[in-house]
């Protein structure tokens, strides 16, 4: 019985790319997940192993990053059209191209800063209440709050040994996915009024974001301390803040093979291999109660 090669395609899936437009002090971010799939005259690739008509998937990845630098990203739709047209028009064996793009929206943390953003969606508000028959313990919190500074962050002067390959950075993207928990002084004793929980949550969240945006960061550890301190300085009902800040690394893409400069504009957004920074800031004389997760 004869066998026939049916529908087939190939490409590069989920190319994570962050494009920072640095026209002036007010930056703009386009954060995309781009997948490329190509169809065409690829029978020999499957049937005989000849790669003569095969455009490497690595090339499609490089094209995505290079086009982001060369043409910018006005919209996901326009960027996808440009890519699809390129792959079909410039590569004879390619008959059709499908570009799938997911875009993650970032909003400005404050209108007073041009480089600090918070990403839409995914944030979860949390609370944990303990009661031992005598007193109440309330720990509020949030998780999956993704924030980014596109400048005002560096990392240098660190310990180095024979295994150190990391280069010092004096102007880098600082991004993290915040998990924060904070313990209240409220104990629920007779006559003790409860705080306005919703207002308290909103205000703690605001101070976390403002501290992140307004701190010139020499390390994520320093930023963590500034965030916790800002909450305690401004919210009397909070006794302790515990933060977990994974460092969501963004690496500059080397575009020199394509004769393109990359002046802190096109980054590869890694979704693994991040450091995890954890710490607690509490009032002097207060015994911490929030456990390490």
CATH superfamily membership of 115-248+271-282: Urate Oxidase; (3.10.270.10)
Average pLDDT score over residue span 95-115: 90
Mean pLDDT across the chain, nearest whole number?
94
In whole angstroms, how large is the CA radius of gyration of the chain?
A: 24
**Residues designated as active site:** 12, 57, 249
Cβ contacts of 125 within 8 Å, gap of 6 or more: 140, 141, 142, 201
Query: Integer distance in angstroms from the first to the last C-alpha of the chain?
Result: 60
Residue 16 pLDDT > 70, yes or no?
Answer: yes
Angstrom distance (rounded) from CA 76 to CA 99: 10
Residue 80 in 3-state DSSP?
Answer: helix
Find the mean pLDDT for residues 23-27: 90
Instruction: Provide φ and ψ at 159, rounded to 5°.
Output: -60, 140
CA–CA distance, 38 with 98 (Å, rounded to integer): 6
Q: Do residues 142 and 178 touch, judged by C-beta distance below 8 A?
A: yes
Is pLDDT above 90 for 213? yes
- Decide which of 3.30.1130.10, 3.20.20.370, 3.40.50.300, 3.30.360.10 is the CATH code for 10-104: 3.30.1130.10
- In contact, 192 and 223? CB cutoff 8 Å: no
Contact 17, 66 (CB under 8 A): no
Q: What is the mean predicted confidence (pLDDT) over 63-85?
A: 94
The residue extents of the domains of the chain are 10-104, 115-248+271-282
What confidence score (pLDDT) does residue 23 get?
87
pLDDT over 70 percentage in the chain: 100
- Is residue 39 within 8 Å of 8, Cβ to Cβ? yes
**Mean pLDDT to the nearest integer, 183-194:** 94
| CB distance 179 to 243 below 8 Å | yes
Q: Do the beta carbons of residue 218 and residue 155 sit within 8 Å?
A: yes
- pLDDT greater than 90 at residue 274: no
* pTM confidence score: 0.84
Q: Burial code of 33-64, b = ≥16 C-beta within 10 A, e = fewer?
A: bbbbbbbbebeebeeeeeeeebbeeeebbbbb
Interatomic CA distance for residues 16 and 103, integer angstroms: 10
> Is residue 99's pLDDT more than 70?
yes
Q: Which has the closest alpha carbon to 103: 73, 67, 63?
A: 73
Average pLDDT (229-251) is 97
Pairwise CA distance, residues 157 & 155, whole Å: 7
Locate 40 and state its tokens. Answer: 């065409």
Separation of alpha carbons 59 and 69, rounded Å = 15
């Amino acid at each position: 019985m004869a066998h026939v090669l049916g529908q087939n395609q190939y490409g590069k899936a989920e190319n994570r790319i962050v494009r920072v437009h640095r026209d002036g002090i007010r930056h703009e971010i386009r954060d995309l997940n781009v997948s490329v799939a190509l169809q065409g005259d690829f029978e020999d690739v499957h049937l005989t192993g000849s790669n003569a008509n095969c455009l490497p998937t690595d090339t499609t990845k490089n094209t995505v990053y290079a086009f982001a630098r060369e043409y910018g990203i006005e919209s996901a739709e326009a960027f996808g059209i440009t890519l699809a047209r390129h792959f079909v028009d410039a590569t004879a064996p390619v008959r059709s191209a499908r570009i799938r793009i997911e875009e993650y929206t970032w909003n400005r943390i404050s209108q007073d800063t041009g480089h600090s953003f918070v990403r839409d969606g995914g944030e979860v508000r949390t609370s944990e209440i303990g009661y031992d028959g005598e007193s109440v313990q309330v720990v509020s919190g949030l998780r999956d709050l993704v924030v980014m500074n596109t400048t005002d962050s560096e990392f240098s002067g660190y310990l180095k040994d024979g295994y150190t390959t990391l280069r010092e950075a004096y102007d880098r993207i600082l991004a993290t996915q915040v998990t924060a928990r904070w313990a209240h002084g409220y104990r629920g004793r007779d006559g003790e009024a409860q705080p306005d929980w919703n207002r308290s949550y909103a205000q703690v969240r605001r101070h976390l974001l403002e501290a992140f945006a307004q701190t010139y960061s020499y390390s994520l550890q320093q930023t963590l301390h500034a965030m916790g301190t800002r909450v305690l300085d401004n919210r009397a009902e909070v006794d302790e803040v515990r933060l977990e800040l994974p460092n969501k690394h963004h690496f500059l893409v080397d575009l020199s093979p394509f004769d393109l400069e990359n002046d802190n504009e096109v980054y590869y957004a890694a979704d693994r291999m991040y450091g995890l920074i954890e710490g607690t800031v509490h009032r002097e004389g207060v015994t911490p109660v929030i456990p390490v997760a």
